[in-house]
Amino acid sequence: MKAYIFPGQGAQFVGMGLDLYEKYPLAQELFEQANDVLGFHITDVMFEGTPEDLKQTKVTQPAIFLHSVILSKVMGDDFKPDMVAGHSLGEFSALVANGTLNFKDGLELVSQRAQAMQKACELTSGTMAAVLGLEDKQVEDICDEVDGIVVPANYNCPGQLVISGELQAIEKACEVLKEAGARRAMILPVGGAFHSPLMEPAREELALAIENTTFNTPACPIYQNVTTTAVQNSDEIKKNLMSQLTAPVKWTQSMQHMMKDGGALFTEVGPGKVLQGLMRKIDRTAITAAAEISE
């Protein structure tokens, strides 16, 4: 079975999507529609902006969404997913790819998500840290022991877990994790504590937008970050998407369930190769590929 996986924040690069814009009339049409929907020329930032410009949350999230979704659309008949999943932001790309959301609604939700997250980041001093070389349970236990808000946020692959929370709590957790034998416990250059309780204001704002958006019955199941198992009921998809901002991204578990349910070829659709790398660490038998467009 063909599984398509969609990357999240961090995969962006200057020049992303320009090849699609120049080559495909459909891509050009969708990029121009995106400029209108967003109210600014995101194409200028994507194609020729500075890395600093592209790093702004309000730009990064729609940019990665656009690259992924437009790439899937120009693949035409070659794009036939049996199952999809997306890492955090990538879940929105996956939901457009499997027909749950239309292009415009998906883009508007991503834009609202980015702005809501930015506002939540400005309310409290939060951050994230990557922890390498410990079992998930060890990291979870240490998070529980540390004072303040610090929680597992991204289960990326075995031995790689990202934690999220209040700045001081994260700093303390990193000290304890290193003492416990972590190969690395490194604070990440991110704007806030994503996938933690500190994102509650953003979750409330986004939940309202999701509630007012039409979700169609998907063409194939999505393995959502929150539940990790196949979902095809649009109401359930909505509910899980509402929980996503304050809940951990259970990527390892999602990929394991896709493999168990028959996923054989995992194609990454969007910028970068991060998810292919993670997949090889999750299960060495999985076949991975980057999305390709026929000449």
pLDDT of 84 reads: 98
Residue % of the chain over a pLDDT of 70? 99
| pTM, rounded to two decimals | 0.96
CA 160 to CA 172: how far, in whole Å? 19
Q: What is the mean pLDDT of residues 90-113?
A: 98
pLDDT of 56 reads: 85
Kindly report, residue by residue over 203-244, the tens digit of the pLDDT. Answer: 999 999 999 999 999 999 999 999 999 999 999 999 999 999
pLDDT of 279 reads: 97
- How far separated are the first and last CA of the chain, in Å rounded? 24
- Give the mean pLDDT of the chain: 96
Task: Give the residue numbers annotated as catalytic, written as ranges.
Answer: 88, 195
CA 172 to CA 175: how far, in whole Å? 5
Instruction: Report whether pLDDT(58) > 90.
Output: no
The dihedrals phi and psi of 200, each to the nearest 5 degrees, come to -55, -45
Instruction: Report whether pLDDT(294) > 80.
Output: no
Q: What is the mean pLDDT of residues 18-42?
A: 97
pLDDT of 182 reads: 97
Instruction: Report whether pLDDT(295) > 60.
Output: no
pLDDT of 211 reads: 97
Helix axes 234-243, 90-97, angle to 10 degrees: 170
Instruction: Report whether pLDDT(49) > 90.
Output: yes
Q: What is the mean pLDDT of residues 168-190?
A: 96
In the chain, where does DSSP find H-type helix? 18-23, 25-38, 42-48, 51-54, 57-74, 90-97, 103-123, 136-145, 167-179, 200-211, 234-243, 251-260, 274-282
Instruction: Report whether pLDDT(292) > 90.
Output: no
Kindly report, residue by residue over 111-168, the tens digit of the pLDDT. Answer: 999 999 999 999 988 999 999 999 999 999 999 999 999 999 999 999 999 999 999 9
Binned at pLDDT 50, 70 and 90, residue 281 comes out as very high
> Which of 116, 174, 125 lies closest to 146, judged by CA?
174
Instruction: Report whether pLDDT(1) > 80.
Output: yes
Instruction: Report whether pLDDT(41) > 60.
Output: yes
